[in-house]
Structure 1
Amino acid sequence: MEWKAKDIEIYLKEKSYIDTAVVPLMPITFGSQMKQVVEKGEFIQLLSLHLERQFKGRMLILPPFTYLNDLADGDKVPLINQWAKQMKENEMKYIFLLTSDESWRNLADQLSATLLFAASVPLAHLDEKYQQSIMENQVKQLMNEIVQGWQGIAT
């Protein structure tokens, strides 16, 4: 389910069946790395939509947690942990943070949610068929990690 009024209406009715949230982590910058950061964000947004299709009825895709690319780790972690706390207090059992930003990998043990890392591939100049293949492979890998998270297996 996506963060849309129509989907949220269903979520509110079926809340007891929807126990998983995915939060895309999306950096922004206006500096020299702007294009690369935007490509990573586009990739994660597209990947989260593909994931939602696979787990429709069990998963809620939240709006991206957007932060400045140069924000200190000590500032990012408490903010996203607040999000996770709110979700847990509202009966969301499994929370996954989806990112292609390498900086989060070093912070995984400080997070109140499970980090899912997917290496970004710039899709803009790829053939649509190849884009689809890349997305399918990434989704399969993430699906395995999510199922392991549901089973309590460390990823």
Structure 2
Amino acid sequence: MKWKKADVAQYLEAKEYIDTILIPLIPYQMTGDTELEKNAFQNELTSVLANELEKELTGRIMLTPTYNYVKAADREEEVNRIHSWIEEIQQQPFPHIFLLTLDSSWKKHEQALDGTLLWLPGMKSGDLHSAEMHRFIRDQVEQVSELIRSYW
């Protein structure tokens, strides 16, 4: 289920079965021309992975809107902002909270997060429409789905 009217209406009817939330963490940065393309690609790849996970785990998972942050921002401040998101999420019965990212800098702050960090060492560039990329995405989705299921 995604954060859209029809899915939320469906969630409200079956909330006792939907116990997992997925928050995509996506960095944004306009400084440094060499990083622009890489950051844009990681944005697209994270979005695709999150959407594919939502499809794979339909009936148990809700995908939140993307949590965007400035890549150079203070991580402690971002952890506090994420906690405010999680406090809001916990107004509903979501015992399993996962945060999905390709940004390895979150690993240093993993213990401070009120959820389970799913850091995937993604590709830095590529063609999202290539057969190789589709295999990579499918493999990642299968592995992460299995991991999420182990929490249930």
Q: What TM-score bracket applies, with the shorter chain setting the length?
A: over 0.9
The answer on 1:2 being equivalent to 2:26 is no
Please report how far the alpha carbon of residue 86 of structure 1 lies from its aligned counterpart in structure 2 after TM superposition.
1.7
Aligned partner of 1:42 among 27, 41, 44: 44
Deviations 1:61-88 (A, max 9, x none): 0111111111111111011111112212
Q: Matches of 1:7 and 1:123 in 2, distance apart?
A: 32
| C-alpha contact 1:85 1:112 (8 A) present in aligned 2 | no
Runs of 4+ in 1 over 4 A off after TM superposition: none
Report the counterpart of residue 121 of structure 2 in structure 1: 119
Report the TM-score when normalising by structure 1.
0.91
| C-alpha contact 2:21 2:64 (8 A) present in aligned 1 | yes
The answer on 1:72 being equivalent to 2:74 is yes
Q: Matches of 2:47 and 2:105 in 1, distance apart?
A: 18
Q: Matches of 2:112 and 2:21 in 1, distance apart?
A: 18
Number of matched residues? 150
| Root mean square deviation, CA, Å | 1.4
CA, structure 1 residues 127+21, in 2 after alignment: closer, same or farther (shift >3 Å)? closer
The answer on 1:137 being equivalent to 2:139 is yes
The answer on 1:51 being equivalent to 2:53 is yes
Report the counterpart of residue 95 of structure 1 in structure 2: 97
Report the TM-score when normalising by structure 2.
0.92
Deviations 1:18-39 (A, max 9, x none): 1100000011011112221111
| C-alpha contact 2:98 2:117 (8 A) present in aligned 1 | yes
| C-alpha contact 2:127 2:133 (8 A) present in aligned 1 | no
Q: Which moved more, 1:29-38 or 1:124-133?
A: 124-133
| C-alpha contact 1:43 1:122 (8 A) present in aligned 2 | no
Report the counterpart of residue 83 of structure 2 in structure 1: 81
Letter in 1 for 2:99: L
Instruction: Flag structure 2 segments of 5+ consecutive residues without an equivalent.
Output: none
Q: Which moved more, 1:116-125 or 1:38-47?
A: 116-125
CA, structure 1 residues 127+41, in 2 after alignment: closer, same or farther (shift >3 Å)? closer
Please report how far the alpha carbon of residue 149 of structure 1 lies from its aligned counterpart in structure 2 after TM superposition.
2.4
Deviations 1:80-122 (A, max 9, x none): 1111122123211110000000110111100000000111225
